């Protein structure tokens, strides 16, 4: 994961991508800046940006494209999610201690309109980085 923010030297929205088959790097434009959480599911990269936590950014290496999916939030726009994977679905864990925020479950293969659900899984602690759960 590459990219820089305006808080560092320069202001780049390029993402560096490594191709392990060719042992080479390339840059693509319009990447995410200041990613706070990410996970790979299937052949896609899923990211949450610090500045835009109401959208899930999805990168597809097949056509080097980004897709933005709205995250169903109410209230604060600064939840600070961490991402986990469970049964080919993404879990978005809110780090807020408030009980009003629930873990969100995103199914990229669900029919349009039913991709998001809530989930009872809630890890303890505020130092969560990334989680993979094998059921």
pTM as predicted = 0.76
Q: Per residue in 17-30, pLDDT tens? A: 778 889 998 887 66
Contact indicator for 95, 126 with CB cutoff of 8 Å: yes
Instruction: Compute the average pLDDT of residues 21-45.
Output: 83
Q: Quote the pLDDT of residue 2.
A: 47
Residue-wise pLDDT tens digits, 55-70? 899 989 888 888 999 9
What is the C-alpha to C-alpha distance for residues 38 and 101, in angstroms, rounded to an integer?
A: 19
What is the pLDDT at residue 98? 61
Cα–Cα distance measured from residue 54 to residue 27, given in angstroms and rounded to the nearest whole number: 26
Q: What is the mean pLDDT of residues 38-49?
A: 88
pLDDT digits (tens, 9 = 90+) for 4-18: 444 554 556 677 777
Q: What is the pLDDT of residue 3?
A: 47
């Amino acid at each position: 994961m590459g990219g820089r923010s305006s808080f560092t030297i320069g202001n780049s929205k390029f993402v560096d991508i490594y191709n392990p088959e060719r042992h080479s790097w390339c840059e693509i434009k319009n990447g995410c800046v200041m990613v706070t959480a990410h996970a790979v599911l299937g052949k896609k990269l899923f990211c949450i940006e610090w500045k835009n936590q109401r959208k899930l950014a999805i990168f597809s290496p097949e056509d080097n494209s980004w897709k933005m999916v709205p995250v169903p939030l109410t209230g604060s726009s600064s939840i600070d999610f961490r991402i986990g994977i469970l049964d080919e679905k993404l879990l978005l864990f809110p780090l807020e201690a408030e009980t009003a925020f629930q873990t969100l479950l995103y199914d990229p293969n669900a029919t349009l309109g039913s991709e998001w659900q809530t989930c009872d899984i809630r890890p303890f602690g505020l130092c969560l980085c990334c989680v993979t759960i094998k059921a």
